[in-house]
Each structure stands twice: as C-alpha cells, then as structure tokens.
Structure 1
Amino acid sequence: MRQRTRARARLLSQRLVGQGWATASEAVGAFGLMQGQEPTVFSSIALRTTGGIDSVAQALDRHDIIRAYPMRGTVFVGLAEDMRWMTQLLAKPAAERALRNCEAAGVSPAQVDEIREAVLLDGPVSNAQLKEIVTRVAGGVPEPAMIYRPRYLFLVDGSCAYLGSAQLLGPAPDAPGIAERFNGERQEAVNEVVRRYVATRGPVTFDDVAWWSKLPVREIRTALDSLGDGFIDNDGDYFHASLIDALAGAPASAFRTPHLLPAFDEYILGYKDRLYAMSEDVHTHLVPSNMGVFRKSIVVDGIVRGTWRGAGGTLAVEDVGGLPKYAMPGIRRKFRDFPVLPATAV
C-alpha cells in the first residue's frame, strides 16, 4: 500500500476524517485503549467525537472512562467496564515487579496493603492526600518513591484508577475480569483486543499488533486469523472491510484539512513504524533524541508537516515538513476551537 493511501486510510479508521463517534465512551470503547501519559489524551478523544470535550468530561465524571496502567507500564485510557480484564491480560507480570519495587523503596507488603485499604476507603484522593496516607502508614516523612511506587502498583494491579475530570486516585469501578467477561477463555480476550486495534488503526501489520500489544506471537496469529468477514487481509495489511468504501467515497479535500494533534496521539503512537506519516528528519524533530518526549504535531493529508505550541493562548507553529500555505487558515481555526479539558490534578 502506498504511503499516502496508508496515511489517509488510518485517518479514516481513527475517525479524524469522516464521521466521528457520537460520544467519548463510544470512541474509547472502539479503540479499546488509548495512550494516555498526559491528560491531553482527553483532547485526542474529543477530536474523534461529535460530542466534543463536553462528552469527555461527562464520561469521566460518570466514571465510564478511566486512566490506569493496563499494559506496558504506561498510562492508558479505557472504558471502566473493560479495564480489569484488559489489565489482567496485558499488564502481568508488571504487578509483581511493582510490588518488589515498593519493598525496595522501603514500603513493606503489609504497609502496601494498609495504604491501598485507606485509598479504597477514603478515595478518590489527590496526590497531597496520598502523601498524607503514606506518611501516616510509614510513620514519618516518606521519600518520593514511597509515594509513587505504591500508586503505580495500585494502578497496574487494577485495584485503583484515575477518576473524574480531576483525575484523582480512587477505587477502580467494579468490572469483570477475564473469567467473567470471557468465561476464562484467554484467547477470546486476545481476539477482542486485536479486533479493536485493527478496526480503529487499520491498515496494520502483524508487527504493528505485536509491538503494540506485546502479546505472544501464537495468540496474535490466532486472533488475526479469527477476525472474520468484516475484516480484510490484503497481503499482510489488516483493516476493517468498510475502509475500502470510505476511502473511495472521501474527497481529497477532506484529507487536506489540517489536524492539530496532542503530543501523545494515537495517530502517531499507535504503530510500530511512524515513518508512514513523516520523514526521518521530521521524526527526529517530533521526538527529540528519541527519548519518549513528543511534540504536538500538525498533520496535513496524513503527513506530519509541522509542530505547534499554544502556551498562554498564543499559537506558535514550526514548519518542519513543508507546511503548505493553504493550510494556515485551517490551522488557526483548529487552534481556536481546540478541545481542552480544564487543568487536572495529575
């Protein structure tokens, strides 16, 4: 598949072009998990919904969508009803390592349990309130690791999550695990994760799925072979069958409309190889020193053409990939209308 076609197809699959999902919950449920190291992920969700940032705030405050550590030791957003089984499938053995790290930081397993019990009883809690709990349990002023190590453990073992618009640490909403959701059939859980990934990021390759999910090779191959009639395998490119008609029906002008994306957006981070959407030089600028810090991108016709900042409500644009002049009015409009959730506590 040609690079431009692949980029356009992924814009459509992620619904940055075309009809967005009606609500934030629908968008997050379709993706399964969305990278959420920063609360700017809520802007990413809003950009893919017709309900905008208000829908995101409502879903957060109803605790329909939450942030936790279901995979790769990284924060993701997911539906509350999915987070427990996805964490069971994708996070282990991260919880075991996290408990050992708590002990190394000076927090015993018994103290971890006491801190968790207090958070579950008194939560949601702010960072300051969590520090107070750890101080009481530890019997003295704790080192920073004595606070963030248990917090990470509670998120990765599925007992807690970041909740509400304020993103406070609190009890994870009741939700089924693999035993309840899939009658204990692990492969069925894998199939569901892979199906959602392919449907919302396609076209993707086996390597994309393996890199993103870190699931065993055999399970991934079984899941891809089980996608069914609603999906297409085009010489190793997997995507939803509806994508063919969507590509044929979308005018070129729809793709030329510029997109202002947050730093950790799925369009950039959802694939093993990001060079489908940019040159190596642009990637070097977008991810300085390849150290996991991303700049905010400007995408035109599927390709990253620049980066942007908006500190103090003032737009600053940097052309790093041949930003077309015709895109500037649209960039200014997108900045003016950019969906932002009020500042959070995280």
Structure 2
Amino acid sequence: MDAGGAVRVSWDQVFAWRMRRQFVLPRGDVDAVGVAERLCGVQAQVTSAAETAVALRCTAGETGSVVRALADRKLVKTWAMRGTLHALTPELGVAALSLMGSARTWEKPAWTRAAGATPEDVAALVKAVGEILDGTVLTREELVAAIVAEPRFHPLEAHLRSGWGSMLKPLAWQGALCHGPAQGNRVTFANPAHLIPEWPGIPDPDDAAAVLIPAYLGVYGPATPDIFDTWLTRNFLRKATVRRWFSNLGDRLTEVEVEGRSGFILTEHADELAATKPVASVNLLGPFDQYVLGPGTGDTALLPAEHRSKVSRAAGWISPLVLVNGRIAGTWESSGEGLAVSMFDGVPAPMAKLKREAQHVARALGQAGLTVTSG
C-alpha cells in the first residue's frame, strides 16, 4: 500500500495469492465440495477434467470425488458460466443461474433464429419441463419424447435432441432442470428442487450478484466488472448492470493497481494480497482448469498473447497447464505412462520440479506413475 492509501501490487504477488486461494500452492485439506465452493464451480463439460482439477488441489485427492459428490447431491451439475457444464455447490449454483438467466439470451433475435424457438416457446418449455420432471429423473431421450408429445413442441425436436443442449440451457438457468444421476453413458435430467436437498431456488439477480461477485473476486481478483462478465456470460450482460452490481458492494470492495492495470478485490483480502510474497514454483494443472478460465485466456499477464492458441485450442479445448511462478509457461499431455511437456519460447523444462509434480498428476489420474519428457 503506498503513502496515498492505494493498494499497489505486482503480478507475481497476484499469482502467488491466487495459487494459495485456489489450493494450487499449497494443496488443501479439502474435498470436491470444498474445491468447487472455493473456485465458484469446476467445469464439468468433460468429467475427467473436473476430477483432475479437484484431485490436483487436494492433499489426498483421487479420481472419482466429483462424481461421488454429485451422487451424494452435495454438488449440482448444470449449464452455468458461459453456457458450459459446471459442478457447483447449490448456493453458488443458483446465484450463477440467476445471473445467466438475467441476460435473457433466448429473447435475442440471433438466438431465436438459430434455435427456431421464440421467447414464448421457452416460457412454455419451462412450464412443461417443470411438470414432466416433477419427482422423476429422465434420460434425454425420455425427456424429449415427453416434451414433443405436445404438438406445439414438434418443431423443436431436433434442437432438443442436440448434444450441445442449446435449447435446454435457458431451462436450466430458470431452474427447471439440471443434470441427474448418470445412467452409464447416458445423461439424465431432473428438477433441481427435487434432486438437491434444501435447494434454495433461483434468487433475484441483485441478490445473486451480491453472492457470486464476492466469491469470484475471492479467488480470481483483482478483476473488473468486464472481466467478471466475460467469465460469466461472455459479455452478454448490460455493462451498466454489471457495474451497478459492483457498485452496490460498496466498501466490501477495494480498488487495486497491478502494474498499471486497475481492478477490484474484496476489502477483507486487500492487506493479505499486499503482504503476499512472490513464490518460485512449478505446478501442473489439468485441462479446462479454473486457474485460466477464471481470469480468461485473454489475460495477457497470465498467458502471453502469442501463446494463447496453444492453450485455447480448436473446438473449445483448453490444454493442461504448466505454471512457473504462477504464470502459464507451457502445456502438457499424458499418454500411457508418459507426460510430455512443451514449454513456451524454448525455455528449458525444469525437469526436477516437473517430475515431483508428475507424481501428483499420476495420483489424480489414478496411475502408478508418469515419466516426464520435454519436447
């Protein structure tokens, strides 16, 4: 903090603070629920990626913990941030759904043209699906069959059967459905109010923002309203609305300057961030990891622009990460008993540290060990 009272920190301090807050360094004595709560959910579009993200953050983590938490109904799996599947705690889940729903993307002409469904169709679907899933769990095929039994929904059948779930996402954001217990490789759907004990229901967006923004800043700060909205909706919300939500938090937020860039952090964390010392570290994180998804792959302080395509790849794939001092410095891939590391800019791979990290990756993947190579 400088003489004028402003909080000024370096990116090295920010990354050290984020790693600690995100159970990257050190790993935490937590379970899947604790990790999902801290990270504002873990992306679960690929289940194995969610399992890896959790296991690598737990001192004794192993694969399968996310699936168990979902089966125990301590986490809910649904389409949330950026329209992608996440495993979330119910409290943060309903907050995210409320804010996603407040964007009303299904009322935009572009969505109507692509989906072939009007806002009135979506409203009717919310009501119909709520009744269909009243106390039952159905596979996608069973749910779609029940929906299109109503003649007015016949034109929507192809979109309802799409594996991308575009037609179902607005229903999830309004609390009409979520993913249910898996039946082998088949996806099921349920009403979250029936699936999750003490489901709190979808709150008012202003109330939801007062929950989700502090949770986000508590692990991905310092950040701006625009960065938060990029993480949440890919900037579909009105900028004035998001700025108002930040403003409503008042003195709960403190502005921070990081090497010329301004953002907000929770006031309760400001002194802790200012006192954080940079760390010399090497860490491995898996694909689709929240460490990069939280601030976004466009954050050039975290991920150099010239290397973004190596992390954010075709078809939405997000590569496994090599972190050096908290910055993304390479990627890795595993195959069989091997782990191949590709460092950026021809920087020599820190093999001794990578081999230690590979032991944790092996544990997270349920393997006895991995041999590290550098390409």
Alignment TM class, shorter chain as reference: 0.7 to 0.9
1:234 aligned onto 2:256: yes
Give the match for residue 74 of structure 2: 64
How far apart, CA to CA, are the structure 1 residues paired with 2:224 and 2:125? 45
Matches within 5 A, 1:203-242: 203-213=222-232, 214=237, 215-223=241-249, 225-227=250-252, 232-235=254-257, 236-239=262-265, 241=268
Going from structure 1 to structure 2, the CA distance change for 1:211 and 1:80 (only over 3 Å counts) comes to same
1:94 aligned onto 2:120: no
How far apart, CA to CA, are the structure 1 residues paired with 2:133 and 2:202? 25
Alignment partner of 2:209 out of 171, 190, 196? 190
| Amino acid across the alignment from 2:286 | L
How far apart, CA to CA, are the structure 2 residues paired with 1:87 and 1:28? 15
Give the match for residue 258 of structure 1: 283
**Unpaired stretches in structure 2, ≥5 consecutive residues:** 1-8, 367-375
- Report the number of matched residues: 325
**Per the alignment, in what secondary structure is the counterpart of residue 214 of structure 2?**
helix
Going from structure 1 to structure 2, the CA distance change for 1:116 and 1:316 (only over 3 Å counts) comes to farther
Going from structure 1 to structure 2, the CA distance change for 1:51 and 1:129 (only over 3 Å counts) comes to farther
1:157 aligned onto 2:157: no
Report the TM-score, using the length of structure 1 for normalisation: 0.76
Give the match for residue 53 of structure 2: 44
Give the match for residue 93 of structure 2: 83
Shift of 1:16: 0.8
How far apart, CA to CA, are the structure 2 residues paired with 1:140 and 1:188? 37
**Contact 1:9-1:203 within 8 A present in 2 as well:** no
**Per the alignment, in what secondary structure is the counterpart of residue 16 of structure 1?**
coil
Give the match for residue 326 of structure 1: 352
Give the match for residue 271 of structure 1: 295
Going from structure 1 to structure 2, the CA distance change for 1:154 and 1:210 (only over 3 Å counts) comes to closer
Shift of 1:267: 0.8
Matches within 5 A, 1:278-317: 278-288=303-313, 292-312=316-336, 314-317=338-341
Shift of 1:84: 3.0
How far apart, CA to CA, are the structure 2 residues paired with 1:332 and 1:295? 16
How far apart, CA to CA, are the structure 2 residues paired with 1:20 and 1:31? 13
RMSD: 3.7
Going from structure 1 to structure 2, the CA distance change for 1:158 and 1:332 (only over 3 Å counts) comes to same
How far apart, CA to CA, are the structure 1 residues paired with 2:80 and 2:338? 35
1:171 aligned onto 2:179: no
1:14 aligned onto 2:14: no
Report the TM-score, using the length of structure 2 for normalisation: 0.71
**Unpaired stretches in structure 1, ≥5 consecutive residues:** 341-346
Shift of 1:114: 4.5
Identity value in percent: 19
**Per the alignment, in what secondary structure is the counterpart of residue 364 of structure 2?**
coil
How far apart, CA to CA, are the structure 1 residues paired with 2:113 and 2:174? 13
